[in-house]
Structure 1
């Protein structure tokens, strides 16, 4: 834990001491401030500073500049409840300039971070620098009963920050293992609210993907104007390493910038949002796009550690690709990929179903959790009369499914939860569908 804390501290983006440190043009900063005041109706320096994610002293310099240009003015009143802060508002010229800027782009709020600066920050907090130990991986997957030797394969794969392909029969915990991998990366990184490139703003922070770690210590509070310095660039939020999980809904368009023609703003691609974290492609082979096409889209990012995106104008540019990509599929890799694609996936890990001994352990844990007393006669009946019919192919999801069925049967019969051979038979009927022809 101490190692993770020190990594977080050293990875912090340098604090802003003067406006030039933002890397933004004066016009962009002035327009964003005007649009933010216009849209959010904030009038105190501390409120404006919080809204545009800049330190209060730098925000005051921007306000003073806009006052000199006749775009803002003091309201002439002090706020009695806010440390005697002066109020400010847009002049008629300021409102006109704000509307004109909104017509060009609806983006307002936190000042963006130049792409070049963000690339440097990504290097400071790279996922490939994580020191993942066996103990950390075991702790995050302690609730799972895993095949022997699986952690021996997963550990080096995850620790390298390279791509991983998990394959095997359905229902054996590939998704749970992928989630366990994410939890093992317990440290935090800095995520910018937005990025700036070629005069365009790309929104980056997504509350669905990014989880802030408490309120920022540098957030202006109670109208205090005393904080003249911040410990890090306030345009970033400290968050847990992001996780993007997609399934059958994944399309190639999700991996590119999303441009909103109405608001004239860009939203970061799923790949860009996952920078510094994990991108999990679950159920590979169930998407509309062929698996080979999806892998081809990832070849350049996985090999070169950068991705190529494009603006509406057609201009292409590089963004960092610092992501652990985990592919999970129920298909054999040879069925959905050519050898060139498989060569580019650094680690291939097969996730088999449990042995009979592991199955019984899982069944006992699930039954206890769901309040169903184990019954030896029922378990013997299940192992001797049911599993031989499917070639003794045990799956991790079977205990949960069967126990839930037994609970439903008991609820229907109005009896306490109990396990009986005939209940096993009734539950088994819903586990599989008979292969038969339906006559219409």
Structure 2
């Protein structure tokens, strides 16, 4: 039976070793490394540690027993429903040490890359249809021109790349986060995947927020166990946000020479979710180079990664990529690159009318009473000095500054032309030459 999570079909749990599609020796070695490292002696605990159903784990234990690597201890554990205890033989310990020298990896069995690729299709970001209501409620805290949502909605639903550009401080980052919040369903992230006998860890608690798991009571008669393959973690759709620190090497497999395992690069961790490249143009590498790296994945839905040996292989690429920049696109991209980014959306500063709306909304939220004379001073005296260019971040900045001054002076929250002048001075630094 397939589990539904919204419309995502869960990965079915394997029923036998044969269904695993992993090399037997690899599975056996992970089993004995796990027994050795975690000092586990019961099949039910082992099954939890290697994330396989109990019958499949038992099959693996029996295989290791037939090879004289594991033996039964002959003790039945009274507190665990009379479970048999197992331990490594001397040969098993030697083999475990040998296997650990080849790779430190133990614990959850990896999912073969081709099996994972099937799950990626079941939970593709392209299957998501975002409604206007979902987007509006996810962006509820932002004051946005209605035509912006007209453009964003179809872009998100298409699951194609988006370029947001425009002056800084107008919420491109908040909008990216709003897009993420509007997705709302859960998908399954493998703890690790396997390719050519190599283990690549994917699940990363920093990127993936695990949804609440329902745990079974082991003593209840009706165990609903293995509703899905527990080698996966059920998570919110992931979001990776990178800014000026992004370098091209972050998009390669990371090899850990001590553990002799690989870690998935950022874009593989963001599969089924969103990859936000903020502040494009502020990275060490030129933006054109960064976009070139994404061209094949964006066009063909696959990415190419390389092992230590230099062997290249394909992984699914299923990510909504959002580029965000304060530069005009023509300044940082050539026409070929621009053509490949499907949606280009300009995020402008607010009009004076919208600015006042945001200012009033922020003031109300922060319990700062509005004062007409102060607003007139701000619009007539202050903004003309910067060519009346409004930005979405300014109301919060100015009001927070006035609040800090009131709290320091020990006076009730209030705004005045004098307080606005003090707040304004912190928003812009006066042009002057500093004598060294």
Q: Which aligned pairs between 1:26-425 and structure 2 lie closer than 5 A?
A: 26-216=24-214, 222=218, 230-425=226-421
Structure 2 gap segments, 5+ residues each? none
Q: Distance in 2 between matches of 1:347 and 1:60?
A: 52
Distance across 2 between alignment mates of 1:9 and 1:43: 39
Q: Distance in 2 between matches of 1:408 and 1:101?
A: 60
Aligned-partner Cα distance in 2 for 1:13–1:433: 56
Query: RMSD in angstroms over aligned alpha carbons?
Result: 1.7
1:330 deviates by 0.6
Cα distance in 2 for partners of 1:271, 1:92 equals 43
Quote the Cα distance in structure 1 between the aligned partners of 2:167 and 2:7: 42
Deviation at 1:14, TM superposition (A): 2.4
**Alignment deviations for residues 329-371 of structure 1 (CA, whole Å, 9 cap, x no partner):** 1111111111111111000000000111111111112122222
- Alpha carbons of 1:402 and 1:151: their partners in 2 closer, same or farther (altered >3 Å)? same
Query: In structure 2, which of residues 420, 426, 433 is the aligned counterpart of residue 430 of structure 1?
Result: 426
Q: Do 1:15 and 1:229's aligned partners in 2 also have CA atoms closer than 8 Å?
A: no
Deviation beyond 3 Å, 4+ runs, structure 1? 5-10, 220-229
Out of 277-286 and 84-93, give the one that drifted further: 84-93
SS at match of 1:202: strand
TM-score by length of 2: 0.96
The answer (yes or no) to whether the contact 2:120–2:318 under 8 Å persists in 1 is yes
Offset of residue 148 of structure 1: 3.0
For 1:110 and 1:118, the matched residues in 2 are separated by 15
- Please give the per-residue CA displacement for 1:270-321, whole angstroms capped at 9, x wherever unaligned: 0101111000001111111111110000000000000000000000000000
How far is 1:228 from its partner? 9.2
2:22 alignment partner, SS class: coil
Q: Structure 1 regions of 5+ residues with no counterpart?
A: none
TM-score (structure 1 length as normaliser): 0.95
Give yes or no for contact 2:8–2:186 (8 Å, CA) kept in 1: no
How many residues of Structure 1 are paired with residues of Structure 2 in the alignment? 434
